[in-house]
Amino acid sequence: MSDKNGVSYNPVIVEEDCEVYCRTCNKTVQLKKGDAIPLCCGQVMEIMD
């Protein structure tokens, strides 16, 4: 599946409170249950274990 922009973003909804980070700039963001994982530096942030 592709779209005109060449980028498809399907938001991932977290199922519990967690923290995500950006590999590129090392920024971290606290998320709460039901939040969508945000984009940072053009990519989806990663969940920290």
- Buried b vs exposed e over 2-33: b needs ≥16 C-beta within 10 Å? eeeeeeeeeeeebeeebebebeeeeeeeebee
Task: Pick the binder of Zn ion from 7, 11, 13, 24 (CB under 5 A).
Answer: 24
The least distance separating Zn ion from the CB of residue 26, rounded to whole angstroms, comes to 8
**Shortest approach of Zn ion to residue 40 CB, angstroms?**
3
C-alpha span between 49 and 4 (Å, rounded): 34
Binder among 9, 41, 46, 47 for Zn ion (CB under 5 A): 41
Name the site residues for Zn ion (rule: CB under 5 A).
Answer: 22, 24-25, 40-41
